[in-house]
Amino acid sequence: MTDAKIHDEPLTPPFWGAQVWEPTLEEVNPFIERMSLLVGRWGYKKGNLSEGEYRQILEGEAQGHYERLLKENLKRRLFVPKAAVAWHRCKPDGDTLIIYPHGGGEPMVQAFPRQQINERLCIPDFYAPQGDLLGCFTVTVGNPAASAEMARMQAEGEYQEYFFWTGFAAEYADAVAEWAHRKMLEPFGGKTGARFGPGYPSCPDMALSRKIWQLSEAGRIGVTVTDSDMLEPEMSTSAVLAHRPRARIFNRLV
């Protein structure tokens, strides 16, 4: 109980409202989850291989493609990171979070599902009951030049290159999200809490993407939202930050 009271002390963000950040590629590259890319995106799985054989492929062929794309992206600047970040006020109310846009406007009300087992967690639980900060961001590595190059690869039958680059771009967008998360929380002593993206079990409502897009003013980095609440360019992602140290990712809801 003591820790909860300390964590819920009022905090002041370094800015209110929305800002655009444009980190260098060199700043973001260290946040790429290499194994997530090689195994999850590119499909370099162990299968029936021996540990030695698998390690040889990972450190040889897979690592070779990884290093090649990193170098080529630095040279061509095909996928360039951009982030639209924001701090607003919010207040939890049961299973909903009421968001008060900085500068005025109608409050936004967002409902979240609650676990039916375990600790019965719900995202609003991670915010101070008396009112708190809501951090959010939309990030992208997409741009018209990248989209045109991906289309060219498909049209000219460069399917393997298309596969490698689309996987790289998706993982790169996640790296920008990790970078933005850490950068936003630097004034509070470093990365704490958790971020929640629309579409995940604890945050399934894709309509939240549109709210984050509005709150972060992501149109300024070239991101739009489709009628089905998907972000465009495709190589984009968004999230809300629950910055209190007790906040954490949880998945099982039933």
**Is the peptide bond between 233 and the residue preceding it cis, with omega within 30 degrees of 0?**
yes
pLDDT digits (tens, 9 = 90+) for 56-75: 999 999 999 999 999 999 99
| DSSP assignment string, 163-180 | HHHHHHHHHHHHHHHHHH
Q: With 80 as the cut, is the pLDDT of residue 121 above it?
A: yes
Specify the number of domains making up the chain.
1
Residue 70 in any domain: the answer is: no
What pLDDT does residue 117 have?
87
* Beta strands at 132-140 and 231-232: parallel, antiparallel or unpaired: unpaired
Query: Is residue 156 one of the residues assigned to a domain?
Result: yes
Determine, yes or no, domain membership for 109: yes
Over residues 16-40, the mean pLDDT reads 96
Of the candidate ranges 181-195, 196-210, 211-225, 233-247, the one whose mean pLDDT is the lowest: 181-195
Among 80, 202, 215, 79, smallest CA distance to 137 is for 215
Domain of 12?
Answer: 2-28+80-242
What average pLDDT does the segment 88-113 reach? 96
Chain center to CA of 239: 5
Q: Is residue 62 part of a domain?
A: no
Buried b (16+ CB within 10 A) or exposed e, 184-223: bbeebeebbbbbbbbeeebbeeeebbbbbbbbbbbeebeb
What's the pLDDT tens digit per position in 142-157?
999 999 999 999 999 9
**97 in helix, strand or coil?**
strand
Q: How far is residue 38's CA from residue 67's CA, in Å, rounded to a whole number?
A: 11
| Rounded distance between C-alpha atoms, residue 65 and residue 69, angstroms | 6
Q: What is the CATH number of the domain that holds 224?
A: 3.10.196.10
Q: Supply 206's token pair.
A: 């894709």
CA–CA gap between residue 191 and residue 193 (Å, rounded)? 7
The pTM (predicted TM-score) of the whole model is 0.91
